[in-house]
Chains A and B, each alone.
Chain A
Amino acid sequence: MLGASVKEEVNQTEEPRRRRRFVLLSRLKQNKVAYISLWFLVLVHAVVFIGPLLWPYSPEELTGTGALANWSLQHPFGTDDLGRDVFARMLHGGRVTLLVGLCAMLFSLIIGTIIGACAGFFGKVVESVLMRITEAMMAIPNFFFVLVALTVLGTTPFMVVLVIALTGWVEIARVVYGETLRWKEYEFVEAANAAGATAKRILMKYVIPQILPSIIVSGTLAIAWAILTESAISYLGLGIQPPTPTWGNMLQNSQQYIWTAPILGVLPGVAITIVVLAYNFLGDGLRDALDPRFAKK
C-alpha cells in the first residue's frame, strides 16, 4: 500500500520532482491550519525583517522617555527597564530570533543530511559508524551538554547557533537515512550507479531531490525547536547577550519585572509561542501532505 502510490510517481523519472512538490502545496492548501500558518509566518518574517528599517527608534538607544513608560503613540509597547523602545526591541529581537532559528536549522540540515544520506547510501562500515554516533547523540540529554558548552565557550551568536545546531541534527539524520535507504533501491538510481556516476553525483542529483520534501518537513520542525532552545538557554543567561535583543533574552530580562511590568514578559512570550506554534502546524501539515496515505483520505 505504501510503496505502490510512490512508485508510480517515481517511474516517470524526470517528472516526479516537480510533481511531488506541486502535490505537496496543493495538499497543504486543504489543511487550513497549516496553510494559514504558512501565510502567517510569511507575514511575521516580512514584519521583522522590513519593520526595523521603517521604525524610527533603534533597539539600543535610550529614548529619553524614561524607564518602564506606558504605551503611547511614539512607543506603542511602552519602554523597557532602561528606557528603550519596546516595539523596536520586539522587531529587532524577532529578527535575531528568527535568524538564529533559520541558521541553526540550516546547519542542522546540512549535518543531518550529509550524515543520514552517507549512512544510507554507502551502508556497511560507514553506516554502522555514522548511525552509532547518531544513536549516541540521541541517548545523551543534550541540554546538559549545551549548558556546559555555552558556559565555558562563551555566548557569541555564532556559538549559540552552532551549539543548537550540533544538538538538533539527529532527528534529521534519521529521517534522511530512512528515506535514502528507500530511494537507493529504485531503478533510476541503480541505473545511474551502473552507468558509473560518482556517489556524490548520484546523491546530489538523484537521491537528495527525491527526499527534499521530507527534509523540508524536518527543517520546519527544526526551526521551531531551535527557537525554543534559544529561549531556554536565554533563561539560564546563556543565549545571545544584550544589548542585542532576542525574544529569548527579552523574556529572561523581563523576569525581574514580573511584579512591576508584567507586559515586558508577556510580549516576547506570546511572540515565541505563536511563531513556534505556526512552525509546528506548518511542519505537521507538510508531513501529513507527504504521507502517501493522505491521498486515500
Chain B
Amino acid sequence: MIKKWWLLLTVTFIALFLAACSYGGDEEADGAESGSDSSSGEAATGGSVSIPIVADPTFNPWHPNAYAESNVINRVIFDGLTKPGKDLIPSPDLAESWETSEDGLTWTFNLRDDVTWHDGEAFTADDVAFTFNEITLNEELGANSASYFGQVENVEVVDEHTVQFNLSSPVAALPAYLSFNTEIIPEHIFQGEDPWNLTSFNKENPVGTGPFKVKSYTSGQSVVLERYDDYFGDTAKLDEVEYKILPDANTHVAQLLSGELSIFALDDTSAVERIESAEGVDVNGRDTNRFFWLIVNQQQERFQDVKVRQAMEYALDRQNIIDTVLQGYGTIANAGITPALSEYYTDDVKQYEFDPEQAKTLLAEAGWEDTDGDGFVDKDGENFEIVFDIGIQGDLEAIAQLVQQYLIDVGIDVQLNTMDWNTMIDKVVIQRDYAMTLNWWRYPPDPDLKAYMHSDFADQGNNIPAYRSEEMDRLLDAGAETSDVEERKEIYDEAQKLMAEELPYMFLWYPQEVQVKRSNISGVPELAFGDTLHYIQEWYMEN
C-alpha cells in the first residue's frame, strides 16, 4: 500500500520534472525556428522583437486611458504629422513640410499623398481635420494631450493633402507638440461613433498608418504586430513586434537575461549591475526630456522666501542620490530645460553644490535658527515642520527617504507621508493641499515650460508649486511665441538663469533612461526608448 503511494508521489514529481525540462527544450527550438525564418524571407529581413508593457493597452492615442503602455504601441501602429528627429528637432512624418504665417497665427502642413490606412483606405487631410476638430478640440471628451492645443481654434482642410491650423495666439512649439503622442486616427472609422467606447477599434482591431499593424491581442498577455507591407516609408525589416504584458519589473529583467525580451527602458535601475555583467545584452544611458523636482507650496508664506528654497537645494547631496538610487544614471539639474534639448540647454546657471553649512546660513538669514537646542530650526517659537507627501511609484519613495534625511540634517523637521498615486494627485495636484512633494515632469521635445511655471497656472493647472514671477511670465510668454531659433535660444538662456536663481522648483536631476537591449538587434537609433519606436522600421536582427 505505502509503496504505491510513494510510487504515485515519485511519478508526480517525475512528471513535473519532465515538464520542467521540456520547457528548456522548447526555448532552443524557438530560437532555431526564428533563425530559419530569417533565411527563408527577404534578405536581411525577418525575425521579431519582444517589448514588455505593464498593462493592457488602449489602441487610441487620444483616449484618456492611453498611458505609457499604450503610447509605445500607438506610435508604431499610427503616425503623427511630425515625429522627433534623431536630433529631437521635429521631422516629417505624415506631413512632408510645414510653415507658419508672419503673425504666427496659422500653420500650414503639407501632407504626403502616398499614405494608406491598414484597411486600404487612402489617408487625406480630412483625417487630420477630423482628429483635431472632433476629438482633440472637443472639450466634452477630455482627450489626452488636449491641453497642448489650447490655443488651436480649429484645423481647416485646404485641399486633399494640405491642412491649416488656426491659432488664437502664436505657439512656436506646435510642430514639437504634434510629434508627442498625438497620432492621427481614421475618420472613416470614427465618423459618428463615440471615440472612447468604440471597443472594436480601441481594444481589438485598430487601423493606423504605421509600419506595423495589429495581428492579435490577448488581454493580460500580449499584443502581436505584423509588418504592414504598404507602409509609405521603407517597409519594416522585422516580421513581427510582440508586446508582452508583464506587470512585474523583476520578470522583465529575468526575461531579458533569458532572451525572451528584446529591448526596453529599465524602470528600476537597481538591477543594472546584474544586466551589465550578462552576456548578449547592451546597456546604454539615454537622455530623456524629464526632470525631477522637489517643491514646496508657495501659497504658504514660509516658502515664498527664496532663501528657504535655496537652503533646501544646498542641503541635498544630489550626486549621492543619483549614485545610490539611480545607479549613476542622471545628471544634476539646476533648471528645467534638459540636456536632451541640446539646442537650448545651458549649464551656465547658478550651481548648488552640496553644502549643509551654506544651507544653515541661508536658513538663518531667512530667520530660521535653532534657538531651543532641539536640533530643529525655529522661528517665532515654532519649529520648521514640513509634511512631505509622496505618491507611491517607482523610485519616489526611496528618493524621498533620502531627501528627508538631508533636510533633517540641516534642522528641518520633515515627516514623510506616503499614499497611493491617485490619492496623491487628488491631494497635491487638484486640491493643492500639501506642503512639500517630489515628482517629475516629462514634456514634449520643446523648451516651452509655460505650463509648469507661468503664473497663469499657479492657482490650478500644472504650476503646482504656485510660483509667481512677472519676469518669468514675460520670458516664458516670449519664448512660446517666437519661432526664430536664435531668438528663442537667448530667451531661454535667460529663463534658465532665472529658474536656477529663483528655484520655482527645487530642481534635482535629469534622469537618464537605462536602455537595455539584446545585442543581436541592430538599427536602433541612439535615442530614448520611446523615440526609437518612431524608427522601428529600421530595426533588424543580426545573424
Contacts and interface: CB of A to CB of B under 8 A. Distances in A.
Q: Do chains A and B touch in the complex (CB under 8 A)?
A: yes
Interface of A: 60-62, 66-67, 81-83, 151-152, 154-155, 237, 241-243, 255-260
A224 to B, nearest CB: 27
Interface in B18-40: none
Given A62-B402, A260-B273, A260-B274, A154 B324 contact: no
B401 A60 contact: yes
Given A154-B420, A154-B423, A259-B273, A81 B324 contact: yes
Contacts of A152: 420, 423
26 contacts: A60-B405, A61-B405, A66-B324, A81-B324, A81-B325, A81-B398, A82-B324, A82-B325, A82-B402, A83-B324, A152-B423, A154-B420, A155-B418, A237-B392, A241-B416, A242-B401, A242-B418, A255-B250, A256-B250, A256-B268, A256-B270, A257-B270, A258-B250, A259-B253, A259-B270, A259-B271
A82 B392 contact: no
Interface string B194-233: 0000000000000000000000000000000000000000
Interface in B252-289: 253, 268, 270-271, 273-274
A145 B274 CA distance: 38
Contacts of A256: 249-250, 268, 270-271
A248 B364 CA distance: 41
A146 to B, nearest CB: 14
Given A81-B324, A82-B324, A82-B325, A242 B402 contact: no
Given A81-B324, A151-B420, A260-B274, 12 more contacts: A60-B405, A66-B324, A67-B324, A81-B398, A82-B401, A152-B420, A152-B423, A237-B392, A241-B392, A256-B270, A258-B250, A259-B253
B249 A242 contact: no
Contacts of A260: 270-271, 273-274
Interface residues of B, number: 23
B416 A242 contact: yes
A152 B423 CA distance: 8
The residue among A151, A243, A257, A258 with the most chain B CB atoms within 10 A of its own CB is A243
* The 10 A-B residue pairs with the shortest CB-CB distance in the complex, in nearest-first order: A259-B274, A241-B418, A256-B270, A67-B324, A243-B401, A259-B271, A62-B405, A260-B273, A256-B268, A242-B397
Contacts of A154: 419-420, 423
Contacts of A243: 401, 404, 416
Nearest to B390: A241
Contacts of B397: 241-242
A160 to B, nearest CB: 12
Contacts of B420: 151-152, 154-155
A148 to B, nearest CB: 11
The residue among A67, A82, A83, A259 with the most chain B CB atoms within 10 A of its own CB is A259
A82 B250 contact: no
Nearest to B274: A259
A67 B320 CA distance: 10
Contacts of B402: 62, 82
Contacts of B270: 81, 256-257, 259-260
B522 to A, nearest CB: 27
Contacts of B401: 60, 82, 242-243
Contacts of A257: 270
A99 B405 CA distance: 25
Contacts of B418: 155, 241-242
Nearest to B271: A259
The residue among B250, B268, B270, B274 with the most chain A CB atoms within 10 A of its own CB is B270
Nearest to A253: B398
B250 to A, nearest CB: 6
A83 B392 CA distance: 21
A60 B416 CA distance: 11
Nearest to A249: B397
A155 B421 CA distance: 12
Nearest to B249: A256
Contacts of A81: 270, 324-325, 398
A256 B325 CA distance: 11
